[in-house]
């Protein structure tokens, strides 16, 4: 039986680990020294197979979903445990902490109000919610397949999950579009590129039909026609930490490759926010090609791999996928 949780979550973690050592370096540095395999040390001097806040917050959310279902307070409490205690980290301490995530989680630890702790400013549209949205996407997919959740409810849950840390509508839209890509990929029945297009078509349409902010949705217009977007030159794809750039980069990398390894390496070698671009790309690539497509030597180097696998098996058992 296919374990969609293993495919998606391990896809995120491996992409994250590949990009972590070279994070922040410009594209010119990657062009001169491209990443082709798992590396160690680098910017945070961490051993090969280490992962960043992207995977830590993904695992914190997954753990809450496994044990409590969708419970925002439990999720935020897990985020606090990551930030303050180093839980869900490869070596017992948190690092590589984004500003909006730090501020939101700190605010929650002070107020215990998950509805108001997320950052709302236009300049706070980093990719910190998109990087950890995979567990919520898989949860909504399972709930929808079981007939327990409507499209409208799925959109609202994904928007809410983004807003725990990133509450500006642009970040929320990126997560909503990512969800519908996830749903389309998991439903399959056509080529991966057609699945990407179908997912985005559904996302644009359903977000608009549910009273979405059309001015904000327009920021994502490059993703409306993937037959054109596929041929956008690499120089016009950014590896920055801006959420719009991250979603565009992930989709572009998937459109221009046909396997997990090539997709995440293309993402890493865009430079700058290499771990997160590869994590966002890797989650979708894991769903498209399966965990078995992730090179074994990469999977075997992931720190605490057995813990991650156990959490994914628990989710598959709980949600019947």
DSSP string, 42-61: GGGTB-TT---HHHHHHHHH
Please check whether residue 78 lies inside any domain of the structure: yes
**pLDDT(146) > 80:** yes
Confidence of residue 170 (pLDDT cuts 50, 70, 90): very high
Segment 72-90 shows an average pLDDT of 98
Domain of residue 214: give its range. 41-252+295-319
Please check whether residue 274 lies inside any domain of the structure: no
The pLDDT value recorded for residue 73 is 98
Please check whether residue 10 lies inside any domain of the structure: no
The pLDDT value recorded for residue 26 is 97
Please check whether residue 145 lies inside any domain of the structure: yes
The pLDDT value recorded for residue 236 is 98
DSSP character for 22?
Answer: G
pLDDT in tens, 188-221: 989 999 999 999 999 999 999 999 999 999 999 9
Segment 73-98 shows an average pLDDT of 97
Percent of the chain clearing pLDDT 90 (strictly above): 98
Please check whether residue 108 lies inside any domain of the structure: yes
Three-class SS state of 88? coil
Please check whether residue 268 lies inside any domain of the structure: no
- Nearest to 171, CA basis, from 224, 216, 140: 216
Bridge partners of 298, per DSSP, are none
The pLDDT value recorded for residue 140 is 98
**pLDDT(1) > 90:** no
The whole-chain average pLDDT of the chain stands at 97
Please check whether residue 283 lies inside any domain of the structure: no
The pLDDT value recorded for residue 321 is 86
pLDDT in tens, 239-261: 999 999 999 999 999 999 999 99
The pLDDT value recorded for residue 2 is 86
Q: Indicate which CATH number applies to the domain containing 102.
A: 1.10.4080.10
The pLDDT value recorded for residue 189 is 86
pLDDT in tens, 9-45: 999 999 999 999 999 999 999 999 999 999 999 999 9
**pLDDT(320) > 90:** no
pTM exceeds 0.95, yes or no: yes
The pLDDT value recorded for residue 157 is 98
8 Å CB contact between 302 and 17? yes
Q: Computed from CA positions of residues 313, 314, 318, 319, in that sequence, does the dihedral angle turn out positive or negative?
A: negative
Please check whether residue 266 lies inside any domain of the structure: no
DSSP character for 275?
Answer: H
- Domain count across the chain: 1
């Amino acid at each position: 039986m296919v374990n969609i949780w293993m495919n998606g979550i391990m896809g995120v973690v491996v992409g994250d680990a590949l990009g972590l050592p070279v994070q922040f370096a410009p594209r010119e540095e990657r062009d001169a020294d491209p990443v082709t395999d798992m590396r160690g040390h680098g910017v945070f001097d961490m051993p090969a197979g280490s992962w960043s806040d992207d995977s830590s917050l993904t695992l914190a959310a997954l753990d809450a979903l496994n044990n409590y279902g969708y419970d925002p307070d439990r999720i935020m409490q897990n985020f606090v445990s990551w930030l303050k205690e180093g839980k869900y980290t490869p070596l017992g301490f948190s690092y590589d902490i984004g500003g909006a995530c730090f501020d939101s989680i700190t605010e929650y630890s002070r107020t215990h109000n998950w509805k108001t702790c997320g950052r709302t400013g236009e300049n706070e549209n980093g990719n910190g919610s998109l990087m950890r949205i995979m567990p919520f996407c898989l949860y909504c997919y399972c709930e929808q397949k079981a007939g327990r959740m409507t499209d409208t409810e799925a959109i609202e849950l994904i928007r809410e999950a983004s807003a725990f840390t990133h509450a500006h509508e642009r970040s929320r839209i990126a997560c909503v579009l990512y969800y519908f890509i996830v749903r389309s990929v998991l439903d399959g029945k056509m080529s991966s590129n057609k699945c990407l297009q179908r997912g985005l078509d559904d996302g644009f349409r359903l977000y608009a039909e549910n009273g979405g902010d059309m001015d904000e949705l327009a920021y994502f217009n490059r993703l409306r026609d993937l037959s054109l977007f596929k041929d956008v030159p690499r120089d016009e794809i950014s590896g920055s930490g801006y959420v719009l750039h991250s979603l565009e980069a992930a989709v572009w990398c998937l459109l221009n490759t046909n396997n997990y390894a090539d997709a995440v390496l293309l993402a890493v070698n865009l430079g700058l926010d290499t771990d997160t671009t590869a994590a966002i790309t890797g989650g979708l690539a894991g769903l498209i090609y399966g965990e078995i497509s992730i090179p074994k030597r990469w999977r075997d180097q992931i720190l605490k791999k057995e813990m991650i696998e156990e959490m994914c098996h628990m989710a598959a058992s709980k949600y019947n996928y």
